[in-house]
Amino acid sequence: MPGCPVGQRHQKYPDYACVLIEDPDACLPDGSPIPTTQPQCTEDKVNETSCTFMKCVHRKFIAMPGCPSTLRHRKDSDFACVPLDHPDVCVPSLTTDKIITDPDPCKPSPCLNGGHCIGSSPPQQTYMCVCNSAYSGQNCEIVSKVCTDLPCRNGGTCHASTTGFSCTCYSGFTGQFCELAFENLLTGCDVKPCLNGGTCFATPTGHQCVCTVSQDGKIQYTGTHCETSATIDTDHCSSSPCLHGGTCSKMGNSPGYVCQCVTIPTGKTYGGLRCEEELTSSAITDQCQTSSSSKFADSEECQRFYDCSIVYANVPLHFKQHLDECIYPQMFNDITNQCDNFTNVNCGSREVLVDGCDYSRNKPLPGHSEPCTNAYPSCRNKDDGLYEHPDKQMTPHYIKCFVERMMGTFQCEEDQYRVEKYFYKGTCTSQYQIPKAEGGKLIDCVSLGDGYYPDEDIQSRYITCINNMATVHDCNYPLQFSPLYKACMFL
């Protein structure tokens, strides 16, 4: 275990706390009798040998955490931390043979990858690594620069690690960089995602599970993958809401059902919530009969297009036969007949949609209540730049806007204390730099006054207030901070 500061030794019992070497209960290395050179304490003092502040608790001296490296305790009065050139500053004496030198936690330096070690002195109790921009973590062991180049596409979140980075992709995308859409790989049903007997249907965004019902028409399971036992037993299909031969399946949540629309024998295809809308015009049907592999722009919306190679057995909600849609924020280029960066597309009279939630592929299916804005928050009327995620305020999440389009969602990395940074006032900021009144962890030293204060979440961490400035400290493992004794102790 870490040793006591200079001028102190562990108690023999009961809690093995660090006490002055003159303390009657102090342990001597050779087990010889301990000379009692002073009575039990009645008031606080500063040890003149080590300049450690000793608090008198139950007539026993308890060593308090040391001052920051540029300060030292006063010899008398309030024992406050003062600059080294202060006339009343304590000057440690290291001439006695009773001194046990406390090891410097920065020798050798625990900071990796060129990080700079800063230790609290005297006595040396803790250290902090100041990392260069390419690394983070308690010892600068985590590679962080890789995420600054935003390698994850289509809204994926980048996570740095010692081996590089990984991307967490939004639903509908996969690949090392989230560069691949599911419809280009699998139908979504190939991986058999539907549980408890649910039936899988391919959709432009992946798949949809239609869950089983009992023989008496009651819903048995609900959820994206039919993973949740149903508690709603209303028979929403009893009124036969699906038109033109559509098949009704109950979903359990409002509106309570989904219609699987079909192409009827006359060749007409229907869609909409109740299969009430005729989807395919004769002109589109004729053009696809002429060339089954052709693609051409939709006349109404700039991100939509017809692909004659797509033939839906069951037309997805919000779509028409042969109709497909570019991935947000791409648009369909009617010159190259392919999806392209929106900055390269002249939409002409076609409607331009700037919000991701206006794209049909991103609209939630009936029975699924997760807001689209979680994945595609709006950048409408925003200048180019970075913004706090509107649905996840005072969290690590933020978004990038460009020409009113949401170009991706991102997440701040951890700070040097291994606590997630929050996106605050336009940048990723340590919670210890954000006032508690605004959702952070920065305590109000002006109101509290100078002293030692526990961290509310991490028991081994404490915060010092000195001259109205807050500084974060960590006890050496396995010590923890005692709010009662205001010291790092075995608890």
Residue 232 confidence class, pLDDT cut points 50, 70, 90 = very low
Rounded-to-integer distance, Cα 29 and Cα 16, Å: 14
Rounded-to-integer distance, Cα 471 and Cα 465, Å: 7
Give residues with Cβ within 8 angstroms of 189, minimum separation 6.
Answer: 200, 201, 202, 207
Q: Which residue has the higher pLDDT, 342 or 99?
A: 342
The two tokens of residue 144 are 């962080």
Report the length, in residues, of the chain.
Answer: 491
pLDDT at residue 383, as a whole number: 93
At position 156, the amino acid (one-letter code) is G
Q: Which of 113-127, 344-358, 469-483 has the weakest average pLDDT?
A: 113-127
The two tokens of residue 210 are 């239609």
Q: Which residue has the higher pLDDT, 490 or 482?
A: 482
pLDDT digits (tens, 9 = 90+) for 310-334: 888 877 878 888 889 999 999 999 8
Q: Which of 363-367, 406-410, 473-477 has the weakest average pLDDT?
A: 363-367
Rounded-to-integer distance, Cα 487 and Cα 262, Å: 73
Rounded-to-integer distance, Cα 1 and Cα 3, Å: 6
Q: Which residue spans within 164-218 are E strands per DSSP?
A: 164-168, 173-174, 180-181, 199-203, 206-210
Percent of the chain with pLDDT over 90: 25
In this structure, are residues 204 and 212 in contact, taking their beta carbons and an 8 Å threshold?
A: no
The two tokens of residue 55 are 């608090």
Give residues with Cβ within 8 angstroms of 456, minimum separation 6.
Answer: 441
pLDDT digits (tens, 9 = 90+) for 428-438: 999 999 999 99
The CA distances from residue 52 to 73, 124, 201, 219, in Å, are 7, 11, 71, 70
Q: Which residue has the higher pLDDT, 89 or 154?
A: 89
Mean per-residue pLDDT, 200-223: 68
Q: How many CB atoms lie within 10 A of CB 479?
A: 20
Give residues with Cβ within 8 angstroms of 191, minimum separation 6.
Answer: none
Q: Where are the alpha helices (DSSP H) in 327-459?
A: 445-448
The two tokens of residue 29 are 């290395």
Q: Which fold has domain 280-353?
A: Antimicrobial Protein, Tachycitin; Chain A (2.170.140)
In DSSP terms, 135 is beta-bridged to 143
DSSP at 287? H
The two tokens of residue 406 are 């949401």
Rounded-to-integer distance, Cα 44 and Cα 32, Å: 28
The two tokens of residue 460 are 């081994």
Rounded-to-integer distance, Cα 108 and Cα 106, Å: 5
pLDDT at residue 41, as a whole number: 77
The CA distances from residue 404 to 154, 256, 387, in Å, are 16, 35, 12
Does 286 score more than 60 pLDDT? yes
Q: Give the mean pLDDT of the chain.
A: 76
**CATH number of this structure's domain 233-271:** 2.10.25
Mean per-residue pLDDT, 234-247: 75
Q: Which residue has the higher pLDDT, 214 or 385?
A: 385
Rounded-to-integer distance, Cα 237 and Cα 173, Å: 33
Does 407 score more than 80 pLDDT? yes
Residue 183 confidence class, pLDDT cut points 50, 70, 90 = very low
Mean per-residue pLDDT, 104-125: 70
Q: Using DSSP bridges, classify how beta strands 295-297 and 304-307 pair: parallel, antiparallel or unpaired.
A: antiparallel
pLDDT digits (tens, 9 = 90+) for 31-46: 444 444 445 777 878 8
At position 459, the amino acid (one-letter code) is Q
Domain-wise residue ranges, the chain: 233-271, 280-353, 365-435, 443-490
Q: Spell out the SS3 assignment of 122-141.
A: CCCCCEEEECCCCEECCCCC
Q: Which residue has the higher pLDDT, 50 or 403?
A: 403
Q: Using DSSP bridges, classify how beta strands 422-424 and 427-429 pair: parallel, antiparallel or unpaired.
A: antiparallel
In this structure, are residues 376 and 356 in contact, taking their beta carbons and an 8 Å threshold?
A: yes
